[in-house]
Structure 1
Amino acid sequence: MGFYDDLYAEERKTRRKNGAGRLILTSLASAVIGGLLVLLMLPTLSKAGYISLLQPNQAYAQNRANAVAAVNTNSPVVPVSVSVSSATVEAVEKVEDAIVGVINIRRVTNFWTQQTGTVESGQGSGVVFEKKNGKAHIVTNYHVINGAERVEVSLPNGDRVEAKILGADPYTDLAVLEIDGSEVTTVAELGNSDTLKVGEPAIAIGNPLGLEFSRTVTQGIVSGVDRSMPVDLNSDGETDWELDVIQTDAAINPGNSGGALLNIQGQVIGINTLKIAREDVEGLGFAIPINDVKVITQQLMEHGTLKRGFLGITPRDLTSIPRYAWKQELNLPDDVKAGVLIWQIGEFTPAARAGLRQYDVIVKLDGQEINSGAQLRKYLTLEKTGGEQVEVTFYRDGFLKTTTVTLGEQGR
């Protein structure tokens, strides 16, 4: 009996499966046939007025009209105002009206007519850092006003006023201008460049390519804080000065010179001065640290020039002297790698009175190593003044000696 029961059950399952399959096929066929009939009858039903057909563009237009009508019947439209604010925006707003344009006006002579006249020979930027006694003081770069017969300042409101040059120094590339302060509304806050850290935000603001792009803002980071740039003022191939600078990748272009480098608090941390412009170099801009600027601008306002301790020698880098002469002529020990050769020495100068002679090689001032004439000038300018003493360590005929020089005073 078991065998027949199983056979009976299998037959019943087979019949059920076949019945379900036929039902599904019948349903699908009915749906397809019904859809085709409806599509075929649509034009007839539309003409008879039973249904209304809209083309795609008509449907879009109808929907848009319905939406506009719905809006018009509801409450009036309220404009949406979005306020965008950030630390950078706030920093720029704090100082932007203290950034001015500086115009260098020179006198030139026409080659053909031999008549002279004045022309604008260049434009740069400046920062208003002080306002007192009805006057406003502006710091800019020396190279911005170099050779000018007259200097004008373009204010944020578009007015141009004549400026007086209070002082300028080519070595530090700084100058201070004075204008009437009645139209100056903002004075920049000076920060502390000694606390800068590599990687913190830096914002450059100035007038790249002239006044047409006045107070342009670019942003980057502080890329380096212990940089020194060699400066050759007389184009003789020898470094005359080593300018301490802050390195940044914020875009600095011609016309930005004299503008401000800001921190994220809107404080001035440097005065933009130069960039390395080569096809294979990007993002190498430099600014003079504001702590140096504070000291130098004070002297420029007081004296008109940057005074330095006067030694009375003509220095020459030891590294520019042929190597064979180090041993044969100067008798220097093998461990001497750099220094400053006294190429010439003036009679009755502070150096001569202290016993220094021609061809002595200076290696230290006050115990600080001096490797070049630029370092020597920098030390005597920023660290010493006339009347102060400096301990000079030098080599003569192979022997290390020390003497103390009472410095004179010399303005540049």
Structure 2
Amino acid sequence: MSPNLWTEMLIMRKYYGIHISLIIVLLIFVFCIQEMSFASVQENITSNSPQTLFDELKHSTVSVMNTIPTNLFNPQIQNLTELGTGFIFGDTVHVITAYHLLSGARNVDVISSEGDRYPATLLGADPFSDVAILEVNSTTPIQKRITTTSPMQSHLTTLNESLKPVRVGNSSALRVGDPVVTIGYNFGSTGPSMTGGLVSKTDYVLAFPAGGFSIPNIIQSDVTVNPGNSGGPLVDMSGRVVGMIYGRLNPVGVPLGQFPGITAVIPFNIVNRIASSIVEEGYYLHPGIGIVGETLTPDLIQRMINFTNIPPGLYGVFISKLQRGGTADLAGLQGSDTNEYGEILGGDVITAIDGISVDKFEELLAYIQEHKSVGDNISFTVLRSGQILERHGVVQTFLPSTAR
């Protein structure tokens, strides 16, 4: 081998060695960047301690006091005080609370965790979802706590600490097993208290038979609530509100205390839509498609006269009845009849809405309430007599005591 060729080989080996070293260094650098990025993401979603959550949220949670006047027909009944919880929403003048606490009152008082008392007026409410919005009439309390600070310091404290808006979360992101806390004024306590627990269920349906309305995606939790907690916030461990406490549900006909019951929470994705509309418009119109339906099950299929038209493994929502002139009726969907033997005749099966599959009635309700508004266009994919059909309509306002 000539000296020149040997020299060239040594140069080439050195050249490739340098490139391989550079590639290795580059790969290590990229890996480190990814690790740092992952660590930063993990750091961003790190949970807060319960103590930190309480210190932050006590300035966003208020006691709601509604004094019921003396009964003129029974003077022995003195003034009654209905106590509950609310939380500051959007800015420092709006409070979300439970509608059932107000008992028809339009003027109430809210009391901050610092003891400052403010007059408030009912701005609007949605009885179907038990959401009410109060407007604080003044940033100057009508009754202040006893303080040794100067008037200027006290005023700044009132504005900056006593009324602080909550941070909004995404209730749809909750999963069974997620830890949550609530802060409220149970039994009319003079200061807020905290209880914690886990998310037990995220797709519970809370039905109100009298109005024919059902709230989907109700959050079920084992957080302890008592009278006075209604209207308070359910908070995830990042400090964001994911729901509003409705109350404790117990089995019908069972004496209180025999079972612990379940804590029902209105999901904040629904509360947020309603509250924002009330603040901006003064009211909220629930979207509805005008059907009475139920999840398609094997037992339901067995009751159908033409059950052989249902393909095996089909999921969807069976239409029992239609509201005359409603969205589904005008779109050409069909309900069902039942003969004297309890057998079902006809009835469409909704398998998708706007191209999105719906396997259960709860999913249909949730999609309508969280993603559609009155006046929106909507499309239905239905199974009828073994054929898949597409129908289109316009979402209307939900009418109570009729259909969804």
Q: TM-score with structure 1 length normalisation?
A: 0.62
> Is 1:330–1:398's contact at 8 Å kept on the other side of the alignment?
no
Partners of 1:345 and 1:262 in 2: CA distance = 38
Count of matched residue positions in the alignment of Structure 1 and Structure 2: 313
Can you list the C-alpha shifts for 1:21-73, whole angstroms capped at 9, x where unaligned?
xxxxxxxxxxxxxxxxxxxxxxxxxxxxxxxxxxxxxxxxxxxxxxxxxxxxx
SS at match of 1:127: strand
Match of 1:177 in 2: 134
Which position in structure 2 is the counterpart of 1:44? none
Residue 128 of structure 1, CA deviation? 1.3
| Other-structure match for 2:108 | 152
Mapping 1:117-196, distance limit 5 Å: 119-120=79-80, 122-131=82-91, 136-145=93-102, 147-156=103-112, 157-158=114-115, 160-183=117-140, 185-193=162-170
1:306 aligns to 2:284 (yes or no): yes
Distance 1:92 1:239 in 2: 34
Measure the CA separation in 1 of the matches of 2:378 and 2:84.
Answer: 39
**Which residue, out of 219, 228, 240, partners 2:214?**
240
SS of the residue corresponding to residue 327 of structure 1 reads: coil
Match of 2:65 in 1: 103
Once the two structures are TM-superposed, the CA of residue 244 in structure 1 deviates from its matched residue by 3.2
Deviates more, 1:150-159 or 1:384-393: 150-159
**1:370/1:390 CA distance change after superposition, 3 Å:** farther
- CA distance in structure 2 between the partners assigned to 1:411 and 1:167 by the alignment: 19
Partners of 1:319 and 1:118 in 2: CA distance: 53
Query: How big is the shift at 1:228?
Result: 1.9
C-alpha spacing 1:407/1:129, structure 2 compared with 1 (3 Å): closer
Please state if 1:391 is matched with 2:348: no
The structure with the largest alpha-carbon Rg is 1
1:330-373 deviation line (CA, Å, top 9, x unaligned) = 875264566232513324x443332223433242322321533x
Residue by residue, what CA displacement relative to the aligned partner does 1:119-153 show, whole Å, maximum 9, x if unpaired? 54632100112336xxx1001123333x4133412
Cα distance, 1:121–1:371 mapped onto 2, change above 3 Å: farther
Q: Secondary structure at the match of 1:256?
A: coil
Q: 1:330 to 1:198 in 2, by over 3 A?
A: closer
Alpha-carbon distance change, 284 to 213 in structure 1, aligned in 2, over 3 angstroms: farther
Choose which of 252, 256, 259 in structure 1 pairs with 2:229. 256
Cα separation, partners in 2 of 1:397 and 1:114, compared to 1, 3 Å: farther
* Larger deviation, residues 170-179 vs 190-199: 190-199
Q: Are 2:292 and 2:322, in contact at CA under 8 Å, matched by a contact in 1? A: yes
CA RMSD of aligned residues (A): 4.0
**Counterpart amino acid of residue 243 in structure 1:** N
The TM-score normalised by the length of structure 2 is 0.63
> Does residue 205 of structure 1 match 2:183?
yes
Q: Deviations over 1:214-233 (max 9, x none)?
A: 41222x34334x51222121
For 1:164 and 1:330, how far apart are their aligned partners in 2? 56
Give the 3 Å change call, closer, same or farther, for CA 105–400 of structure 1 in structure 2: farther
Q: Secondary structure at the match of 2:163?
A: coil
Question: Cα 1:358–1:294, aligned 2, differ >3 Å: closer, same or farther?
Answer: closer
User: Per the alignment, do residues 286 and 232 of structure 1 end up closer, same or farther by CA in structure 2, a change over 3 Å counting?
Assistant: closer
SS in 1 for 2:88: strand
Aligned residues of 2:107 and 2:120 also touching (Cα < 8 A): yes
User: Are the equivalent residues in 2 in contact too, given 1:257–1:272 (CA < 8 A)?
Assistant: yes
Query: Is it true that 1:228 corresponds to 2:203 in the alignment?
Result: yes
Q: 1:333 to 1:212 in 2, by over 3 A?
A: same
What is the alpha-carbon distance in structure 2 between the residues aligned to residue 404 and residue 308 of structure 1?
A: 19
Counterpart residue identity of residue 322, structure 2? Q
Distance verdict in 2 for CA 1:158–1:192, change over 3 Å: closer
Identity across matched positions, percent: 21
Stretches of structure 2 lacking an aligned partner (at least 5 in a row): 1-47, 141-157, 251-255, 337-346
> SS state of the match for residue 307, structure 1?
coil
CA distance in 2, matches of 1:91, 1:318: 40
Q: Is the alpha carbon distance of 1:204 and 1:377 closer, same or farther for their aligned partners in structure 2, counting shifts above 3 Å?
A: closer
Q: 2:247 aligns with which of 274, 292, 302?
A: 274
How far does residue 314 in structure 1 lie from its aligned partner after superposition? 4.0
Find the aligned partners of 2:182 and 2:96 in 1 and give their Cα distance: 15
1:114 deviates by 8.0
Matches for 1:342-353 after TM superposition, within 5 Å? 342-347=320-325, 349-353=326-330
| 2:331 equivalent to 1:354 | yes
CA–CA distance in structure 2, aligned partners of residues 361 and 394 of structure 1:
6
Change in CA separation of 1:391 and 1:266 when aligned onto 2, cut-off 3 Å? closer
- Tell me how far apart the structure 2 counterparts of residues 399 and 257 of structure 1 sit (CA, whole Å): 48
CA distance in 2, matches of 1:410, 1:99: 32
